[in-house]
Every structure is written in structure tokens, then in C-alpha cells.
Structure 1
Amino acid sequence: MITHTKAGRAGARVPLPTDAAGLAGEAAHESHEARRLFLQQAVTCGATLPILAGLTGPAWGATNMAPETTGPRVVRSFNDAYLELVRLLREACGVEHALMLQYLYAAFSLTPAYRTLAGSGTPGADTLLGVAVQEMQHLASVNQLLVLLGAAPNLLSAEFPYEPQIYPFEFNLEPLSPRSLAKYIYAEAPVGFFDGIRSPADAHFADSVLAMIGPKRRPNHVGSLYNELITLVGEVSRLPDMPKLDAWLAKLEAIKAEGEKDHFIFFRNVFLARHPAFDGHRDAWQLAPTHPAYPAHRVPVNPTAYVGHENEILNPDLRALAWLADLHYWTALLLLDLHFRSGDDAPRSLALAHMSGPLLSLGRHLPALGGGLPFDPLNFGSAPALDMLGSRRLIASLVRESMELARVIAPALPADYPAGVAEATLIALSDNRQIEARAP
């Protein structure tokens, strides 16, 4: 039997090296091990360079890094503005993708009593699913800009726990809780909120969030990444033979504002139990997680449907449902990749059908059974196929796999599972261009 290790499933996930000015409390042997793994994986996987001031030593070409007291900023790796913009856009794709998955998992973890907090999937900053959809829109926008610049889209999924270099915390798929909310608040907060002068009410709130997080945090927010992207777009716009990017300045500003204002306020209200879904139960988060009135199910952290991997879902029925959800998730990702590469809107519509249909159905169903949707990575790399025909063939194979599994486990499927989405996808792919038969 072939077992799936972390490296084998997810590809490169580069642990950040630490130095004397790194994270407080890190033991010396952990720092040494992080450096060793970083160098090893950088050589074998072509890892990107560390980019956060205060977390690592200076990046290649970077000099005179400002001390942490001046606030977080992104350290530039390339003098060429085009190279740097592409690099950071790919970082942004990873962050937006992982944010989306965290928020989806948290939304699915909510009990039926908090269904209005979870939401229905309409984009907006008043429900968890709505915020997750907005992160999906951010992911789409960043990929559109990559393609406009002549770079490939980046829809690679990550293995959880995932530690992107631009994000202040390790990503985890976990049930909604005060601790996870504190991390979301800190990451989405306006740059400087936790360092500047605040009103007494804001100071009390900030102290509560920081106490929940603890001392191991990094001095950065998602907004600092978008600040640098906005600067780079302005630089690249002035280069010869580059597309007009003036409209993208406003788009990136809007994405930044959506996080620092709308998402920050939303997560603050949920943390303080002020969201209408709490219906006046301001003490909901003070209940024990085992209490029937606690807002979230007791779902696993970072589950996986891969056999032989750490945190493997051991119950075979739950693992089969989770694997089916993975198949729909991967199908959606490959359809979106095809959409960005081809410019055809039909694959995008099919991807949304998988996400709002089978994936949503299974995501809501698994927590009620004590499980969770794993969002496992599919290690097909950043270019899943050589051409459009190859992409359609891969997608069709995934769809057939999901149809067969759904047939086998039909009695265990949720009542609202839309089996017809997979069949409609196959028909649409065949209509678009005849898919070659698989070799025997």
C-alpha cells in the first residue's frame, strides 16, 4: 500500500527559518530544523523567498530592513517590478485560497441554530459563507491579473496546516471558536490597528483578541500584501510593452478595503457575539464546546481523506463522503484553471455549480456526522495539463470518478446532494470539444 506523506500530498510547503529576531519562544533546535528543511525544500522545489520583515533575515537583494516598530511591510525580492508583481500575485492567490477554505470549513462547522450566521452562499460580509465567497472573488481577481500579465493562473490548493509566508498565522481547518475568530480578526485588521492609539472600547477588544492569540504571532496583516501589490501595479504600468493596469489600482484597493473594513467588522461582531444570529445570547462563546447550545459542532482539525496520512478520517463511511467532496473540489479547481487559461466562461459556470451544489451539500452534511470536508490538495502542479484537450480529459476523469463513488455510496448521501451536476458537466465538456477516450 502506498501511504501519502505530507510532502507527497501537498508539494512544497516551506517552513520559515527563524533567527534571533524571529518568533519569541522558539527553541534553538526548532530554528535549526526549520533552516535545514527550508534549504532542502528550496533546492528541490524552487521555493519562493521569505518576504516578511522581522520574520527572517534580509531577502536576497534586500538591505536595511526596517525594525518591527515601524510596522509590517513586504520585503522586495526582485528589483524588476514585473517579476516582483508576479511573485506577490502568486502569494496572494495562496492566501486568498486558504482564507476561503478556512471560512468555508468554519461555516460548515456551525450548528443548525446558527444557520443564519453560516449563510446560504450569497456573497456579502454578513455571513461566513458570504465572506468565503468574497475571498473566492478575490482569488479570481488576482488570477485575472496574473493572466493579463502573461503569467499562469495559480489555483494550487495547500495541505493544512499551511504556513504561507505573507500570513500572520498558520492556516488550519478548524471549527469556529473564539480562538479561530481572534486569528481571523488579527489577519483582516487594518494595518496598525493593534499598534496604534485606540479608544477604550477598541483597546479592550484588541487586548481580548491578543490574549486569545497568545505571544506567537507575526507582525503582519493581509492588507500589507495588497499595499505592496498596489505599489507594484503602479510601477509596472509605467513599463514599456505592458498592458494598461490603471483600472486594477481601484480593484486592488477595493479588495484591501473589503478585508480591512467589512470582514474585520464582521469577525469582530461574531467574536463579541453581537451578530444577529446570536439572538442576544452574548455568552454563547463562554459555553463549553460540548454544551448543546455551543455555536459549532465538535469537528476534527485538519482532517484528510488520504489513507495513511496524519489526521486520516478513520470511519470508512465518513472518509468516502469526504473523498467524494474532494473530487468535487478538485473538479471545480481544474474547471477554474481551464476558465482562466482559455478565457471561456462555460468552465467557470460549471465550477460554480460543483461548489454551490455537491460541495455545499456534503460540507453541511459531514459536521453533523462528526466529520469535516478536508479540502485535500491535488498534487497536479501549477499546470495540470499540456493543453486544453488534456485539461478537459483530466476533468472528465475526475467527474467519472465522483459519479461512480456517488453510485456506490448512494444510501449515505445527503438528501439534497445534486447528482445531476456531474452528469451535466460531462455533457458540457463533450459538447465543448470531443474528449478523447482514455487509453486502456
Structure 2
Amino acid sequence: MSATDRVIVVAPVNITAANAIIVHLAAIADGLRERGADVEIVVPRLPEDAPSLRVLNGLGLPVHFAPAAPTTGILRMLRPLFMLPLLISLARSQPRPAFYIRFTVLTFILHVVLRLCGARTITEHNGWMADEIAQMGGGALYRAAAAAAQIFDAHAATSVRVVAPSLMRRLSHHGLAANKIFVAENGTDLEKFHPIDRETAITRMGFDRGRRRLGLLANLTRWQGTHCAIAAMEDIAAARDDVDLMIAGDGIEMANLKRQAAAGRAAARIHFLGQVPVEQANDFLNTLDIALAPFPADRPPGSPVKLRDYCAAGCAIVASDLPQNLEQLPPDVVCFHKADNPADMARAVLALLDEPAAARDMGRRARAFAETKWAWKNTVDAVTEHLHKFAK
């Protein structure tokens, strides 16, 4: 990619919070810039105090703010349309850019219009939206509309990046040409997430030095499986009096999870930290004895950034035995438990707590695995290759 290539990275989603989406966006944009592209970013207008603004400003790249759509209710799906006038203007400017667009409902309209303007587009599919809607209790009509929108989006784009082979199989089943799709898993920032001295991390986070900690760093949706971790704490707390569960993050399941925790016998041992700033995420992970990924069996397919960040930070990991976890994680960097089985999760956690030296070794292997397999460089290399292909 030459320095004259121009790529516009578009995120038609709510990035007000400094969560995995903004970290993902920043990694793609920064990686393309490192490969010689002139990169610009388009996002919805943000409040002046939005934590994600610090991340965007830290990149030192041009950022275009589109009018902000509603952030709640069904009208939030119109966010791509609010971006359309700005994107058309950019598509007509010189030098003509390529667009890298994160998929959401109605982004297929962006691809159709931008390609009519002569632009090349890559769409990024991070999951199967109909499955995610089902997890949130959406009805059959809503799920069918989401599936149709995702299929249209893939057909409308010049090229399609999916984060897991299962997504590639689904889109291929719906008639997408094999040479149009490529798999590039999500990655992790190996500089932002890295092992540090545990006592230093505990001091920075202001935690009690006398406790051992299990933890999750997550957007609190049902498919994160946090409810399983809370249920498992019943057995863990009964077996050990020195272990706490730390839940870092916010989301639509927060109220339900707090009610579940309050109703159990381990309520005093479960701590909800709320949204942890991006700058503190690595400190938080380094305070943990074990990082948890208890995804439910019906979790939609994807490429969870959380697991990559856990590995990069050198965490010992206990995770559910979903096929996607079994495919992506070698057994020497994780202890698996049966999905949706709090008792089996508690068994795995307690066994690892009893072997602190083995847990430390697991964390070292996890870091080495992340360095080899999950650097964002690998993802951006695949995106760059496809930008070259359809530029010819």
C-alpha cells in the first residue's frame, strides 16, 4: 500500500463508551496508517466528555463527525443514514478513497450508494446479527429482517471481512462468492495489554491485597455468560473465603445481574465496577488470579476480543467449552468448563486456584500465544491484501 492510498474507516455504531468497539476501530485505522495509507475516520458525533474521544484523539488521524442519531430505541438503526451525506461527499473527493465499514443494520445502503459513486468498500462482519437479536429476545420478524440486511450488506460491498469461519460458511450458503470473503480474526493490542507486576496493578486499582480475584472485562450482554459466573460463585465462596468476583463493564444486563447477585449467598463477594476506562483495563486484568469467559452454548459466532486481551495481559483463563473457544484456544492456555454449567465452572476455577504456579505458567503461555497468533498486525495485513486486490 502506498502513501497515496486513502482509506476511510467508518463506524456507524454507538462508540460513546471506551469499549472494545473503539479499541477495534483504532487498531484497524492505526494499522492501515502504519502500512502507508492516508487514513481518515468517520463516527457519529460524540459528547465532549465521551471517553472514546481520548482514544480517537490519541491516534492523530483526521476524524469526521456525522450527525448523531438517537442512541436508544429502534431509531438508532438509522445511524448509517445520518452518515450518508458526509460519506457521499468524501467518496467524491480526491484522491478517491476506499471505505472500511463495520456492519450494522442498514449499512448495505452505504455500500450501494458509495459503489455507485465509484468507491471500493470492505464490510466487516463481527457476528450474525439475527442470533444476537434472538439472545435479546427479539421476535421472528425482527430476526428475519436482520438476517436479510446482513446478507444484502455482504452482497453490496466490494469485499467482506468476517471474523470467524462459521460466518464465512453462513454467507457462502446465501450465495456469496468465495473470492469475495476473507476470514481475519480479531486481534489484541500487545502494547496496551501486557503482563505487569501484580502488586503494582493492585495498588493502581485500589484493591485489597489480601484477596484473590476472579474477573470479567465485558460489555454486559447475555452472551457474555456473566450470569453463569455469578451462579458459580455460590460454590466457590462456599469452598474458599478469600476469593471475590470482579465484574468490570456495563450493558443491558447490568440490572438483571445485580439482582441475581443480591439474591445469592455470595452477594458480598461479587463486585460490580462499572465501565473501566481503557487506560485502566490492563491494570484490572493484571490484578486477577483468573480471567473468566463463561460464554453460553447459544452464544452467536464471532471472534471475542476479550479472550485476546486476556491472553495478551498474561492471564490464566477459565472459559466455556464452546466450539469457537475450542477452535481458537489451545488447551495449555485455558481451563475449559461445560457451557451453562456453574458447578463445572466452579470446579475448574477451584482447581486452578489450588495450583498458583500452574496458573502463572498458563498466563505466560497465553501471552506467547497472543504474540504469535493475535497481534492486530495479522488482521490488518489481511485487510491490506484485499485493498490491494480490488484496487487492481
- Whether the TM-score (by the shorter chain) exceeds 0.5 is no
The TM-score, its normalising length taken from structure 2, stands at 0.30
Bigger helix fraction: 1
